[in-house]
Structure 1
Amino acid sequence: MFGNICTLYYTRRKLIFDFLKPGNQCRQLVPEATVDVQRRQRKMTSPDDESRSFFAQTELDSLKGKKAKLARTGTHSHVFKATMDSRGNAQVAVKLVDLRSRGEYIERFMPRELAIIPRLDHVNIVAAYAIHRTPEYVAIVEEYASGGDLLNYIRTRPERYLQEQEAKPIFRQLMDAIIYLERLHIVHRDIKCENIFLDSNLRVKLGDFGFARELRPGVDSNTHCGSRPYAAIELLSGRTYRGNGVDIWSAGVVLYVILTSYFPFGSSKDEVPAIIKRQRSQSIHFSQRLSGEVRSLILGMLHPDPKKRLYSRRILAHPWLAETPHRT
């Protein structure tokens, strides 16, 4: 029905699946390969559409999948958790993008994402193992983070926030990922708790590069993207920006959120002008239980002037974080 789906690239990281090694032939996809995938909740308009709804199952069959469950959904994609029968039932996540949905993400942002993720190889970034295509779908086979996302993690805590000592290693790993991207001149532009994942050992995995782009030194961008509560003032204001200052800002918001369970300037329900006004005046409420050092760090990362905002190396050298070891 779909023909052969071929692997488009391989990461430098050692692949864990025999059938993804270069030179292996793609398997023919068959719709009855897997049986317990949750149906996506959308109306099927014809038998042909009904057949196409099996793409996730059949795609996983090409990866020798035994079981697949819908892990989460996004605006343009569905993410499936798959258990593989090669190499000891290793788990992966399969991000399935419907190319028929069209729109700015499909036409503008997704090609950038597919160009960027093969270049990434860092312990604190979700690893991509392969991309598969049909004319109607793209499936990205990724590392599965069993600990869920950071937002859900802090919600499971009795206080619904982390103590400073708990937050330090998580934040340090996030900064390690940002510094790695900085060396590649890549800006993520959608860093938020929901895009930061954890494995079973609380190792941070930054994911979802749907708004990422390469931004070389001296090159400006004025694209307004990302999530309103985490977006830097220059993004919300529609100003041009360069470098990874917008990622530094978002990481500062993440730090505030995991320490307080609140947003520093407002939520997605607040109007943009009101958020910008608070950002410009750095109107941030700090709990008395937070140390002066972490307040200083957050204020430095959330400085409204990008030229005065703390940059990556100064963040790592900040007294609040300086003695937190790098984790491999």
Structure 2
Amino acid sequence: MIGVGSFGRAILVRSRSDKKLYVMKRINMNDMSKEEQEGAMNEVNVLQVLKHPNIIAYHEYFKGEDGYLNIIMEHADGGDLFQRIRSASGVHFDESMILDWFVQTTLALKHVHDCNILHRDLKTQNIFLSSNNEVKLGDFGIAKILNSQTEFANTVIGTPYYLSPELCEDKPYNSKSDVWALGCVLYEVTTLKHAFNGQNLPSLVLKILKGNYPPIPAQYSDNLKNLIARALNKSPDLRPSMQEILEIPFLQAHVDKYKNGLPVVSRVVTSVSTTTTNCLVADSGKQKNKPQGEKKQVS
């Protein structure tokens, strides 16, 4: 067992057929209502749609006789950003490495948003790494599939440290809430601390609503500091989109490093494209070319 969450546990498994390591997420469906069971299947539905080198790959799923839903996914053998921060022991990361992680995460989130999906629980614990520092975005258990590009989500959900001001105020929110969480992640990797902290939830919410965070260490560039400030703007409309972030000049060397070989929908271009491939059709709310996701017993 390599992880435990509120909805299940993650187990490292080896396939008898190809001998590769995978992660099996086990979710107990026995005591769930029909609505809760549909919610548990949401992660399967989302993973089947998302196809991107910086997103944890879906392999298969099956329901066992014990009543558990088992989702088989790619194994990232380098841990996660949260573990990497803890193991840093107060020694700050090189800016180039931070931007490598950040750009890969942004490329993954652009694909998520192009597919008309909100992650809603972006945090350092959900950004996994391979042994060669390749980012693998994961944990889509509470992702929200929107019916149109203009639809706002209304459910207050996510991890408190990364909640956007609009979520704290119980206002409708959209993809810019994921941008805020991405800014919190970038701040955390840069400073090794949460951007907003409090002894209790009300105290934390007040700090988020004020939007003030401790300064970035002087060793980092003004470009990096300005990027964090833009992502953590209290006004959602003033935060950049994932596409706009990827077009920032000082990030281009890192973007060029990782953009090759990405799906067309997520490849960085000079203008924002609304074309989607293997994603949700925004106008109808239906899925285009959705994988069949056939149930099969794991080998």
- Tell me how far 1:180 sits from its aligned partner: 0.5
Does structure 2 conserve the Cα–Cα contact (< 8 Å) formed by 1:293 and 1:319? no
- Is 2:137 the partner of 1:202? no
- Is 2:210 the partner of 1:278? no
The number of residues matched between the two structures is: 255
- Is 2:251 the partner of 1:321? yes
- Is 2:22 the partner of 1:96? no
Unmatched 5+ stretches in structure 2: 262-299
Does structure 2 conserve the Cα–Cα contact (< 8 Å) formed by 1:177 and 1:206? yes
Counterpart mapping for 1:2-13 below 5 A? none
Q: Deviations over 1:69-97 (max 9, x none)?
A: x111111111110122322x211010000
Does structure 1 conserve the Cα–Cα contact (< 8 Å) formed by 2:29 and 2:37? no
Q: Deviations over 1:161-188 (max 9, x none)?
A: 4221110111100000000111100100
Does structure 1 conserve the Cα–Cα contact (< 8 Å) formed by 2:162 and 2:180? yes
Q: Secondary structure at the match of 1:92?
A: strand
Q: CA 1:119–1:107 in 2, change beyond 3 Å: closer, same or farther?
A: same
Does structure 2 conserve the Cα–Cα contact (< 8 Å) formed by 1:233 and 1:280? yes
- What is aligned with 1:174? 105
Q: Deviations over 1:266-321 (max 9, x none)?
A: 15x4323x334333332111122232111110110011111111111221122442
Structure 1, 148-157 or 313-322: larger mean CA deviation? 313-322
Counterpart mapping for 1:249-264 below 5 A? 249-264=180-195
Q: CA 1:167–1:223 in 2, change beyond 3 Å: closer, same or farther?
A: same
- What is aligned with 2:167? 235
Q: CA 1:231–1:144 in 2, change beyond 3 Å: closer, same or farther?
A: same
Does structure 2 conserve the Cα–Cα contact (< 8 Å) formed by 1:145 and 1:197? yes
Q: Secondary structure at the match of 1:96?
A: strand
Distance of 1:105 and 1:237 partners within structure 2: 26
TM-score, length-scaled by structure 1: 0.73
- What is aligned with 1:219? 151
Does structure 2 conserve the Cα–Cα contact (< 8 Å) formed by 1:199 and 1:205? yes
Tell me how large the CA RMSD over aligned residues is.
2.0
Distance of 2:225 and 2:113 partners within structure 1: 24
- Tell me how far 1:203 sits from its aligned partner: 0.6
| Equivalent AA in structure 1 for residue 78 of structure 2 | G
Does structure 2 conserve the Cα–Cα contact (< 8 Å) formed by 1:221 and 1:241? yes
Q: 2:43 aligns with which of 97, 113, 120?
A: 113
Q: Secondary structure at the match of 2:73?
A: strand
- Tell me how far 1:265 sits from its aligned partner: 1.3
Higher alpha-carbon Rg: 1
Distance of 2:197 and 2:20 partners within structure 1: 40
Distance of 2:220 and 2:101 partners within structure 1: 17
Q: CA 1:132–1:167 in 2, change beyond 3 Å: closer, same or farther?
A: same
Distance of 2:92 and 2:4 partners within structure 1: 25
- Tell me how far 1:98 sits from its aligned partner: 0.5
- What is aligned with 2:287? none
Distance of 1:85 and 1:131 partners within structure 2: 16
TM-score, length-scaled by structure 2: 0.80
Q: CA 1:154–1:104 in 2, change beyond 3 Å: closer, same or farther?
A: farther
Larger RCO (alpha carbons 8 Å, 6+ apart): 2
Q: CA 1:306–1:145 in 2, change beyond 3 Å: closer, same or farther?
A: same
Distance of 1:145 and 1:185 partners within structure 2: 25
Q: Secondary structure at the match of 1:113?
A: helix
